[in-house]
Amino acid sequence: MLIVSNWKAYIADTKTAKALVAAAKRATRSKVQLIIAPPAPYIGLFTDGKAPKSKKLSFAAQDVSLSTGGAATGEVTAVALAGLGLTHVIVGHSERRAMGETDDVILAKVQHVLANGLTPILCIGERQRDPEAKYLSFLRMQLAAVFTPLSPRDRGRVIVAYEPIWAIGKSASDSIQPHDLHEMVLYIRKVLADYLPSGAKNISILYGGSVEPANIRALAEEGQVQGFLVGRASTDVASYTGLIKALS
């Protein structure tokens, strides 16, 4: 089971950042694999350009540049992230899509990430649900935009994170229910089977959207996901530790 902690821009001081990483290191004896995605300025605090010392704890970037290098002020390239020792990159997060990222941009970023030996965590998710279930076609299009151009080998290297936008920021009781999540996981695997007929079952599917210590275990067991992409709940030591303990 995997927990990807997306700190977003919640962390504003190195003391908190170090406390969260210390909590993660204490939890490496658990059965949960931990990946932390800090804001770019904090990446160098925890990486040294080498492979992670523990397979249970590694680091990711929250985004990556479309640029491959050169005259691109302020951009952080995939090759630079790989050189820092990161292993994963979050691509296509709903907040980035809301800023104008298109499917073409997201595909290019995924390709940059893969070309530099990193693992993309591709975020998909509908803004709202409609009675006619048109949102399913929307999810299919988001997946097709990335998986269609990729080679079979690269398709198998992508992690998919399902984050329904309508569920973000709600309480556990008002968020997605485990049986509904299970249905979505089955649907996503069905779509992925079009691109990986014999390998769709091996792709990890994560869930993100109002995950708390109170509901994470049920979502994992009944929802049949391989892990979680967690935002704000992973930026408080007590809550973060609670998530890990609930899955352990």
Delimit the domains of the chain by residue range: 2-247
CATH of 2-247 among 3.20.20.70, 2.120.10.30, 3.60.15.10, 3.40.50.11030: 3.20.20.70
Distance from C-alpha of 203 to C-alpha of 6, rounded to nearest angstrom: 20
Identify the active-site residue in 75, 88, 93, 101. 93
Distance from C-alpha of 170 to C-alpha of 28, rounded to nearest angstrom: 29
Annotated active-site residue 179? The verdict is: no
Annotated active-site residue 93? The verdict is: yes
Q: Are 213 and 171 in contact (CB under 8 A)?
A: no
Q: Tens-digit pLDDT profile for the chain (248 aa)?
A: 999 999 999 999 999 999 999 999 998 877 899 999 999 999 989 987 776 677 799 999 999 999 999 999 999 999 999 999 999 999 999 999 999 999 999 999 999 999 999 999 999 999 988 888 889 999 999 999 999 999 999 999 999 999 999 888 776 666 799 999 999 999 999 999 999 999 999 999 999 988 999 999 999 999 999 999 999 999 999 999 999 999 98
How many C-beta atoms surround the C-beta of residue 152 within 10 A? Answer: 12
Which of 169, 148, 160, 189 has the alpha carbon at shortest distance from 233?
Answer: 169
Distance from C-alpha of 163 to C-alpha of 208, rounded to nearest angstrom: 4
Residue whose structure tokens are 């965590």: 121
Identify the active-site residue in 112, 126, 163, 183. 163
Give the SS3 label for residue 4.
strand
Give the SS3 label for residue 234.
helix
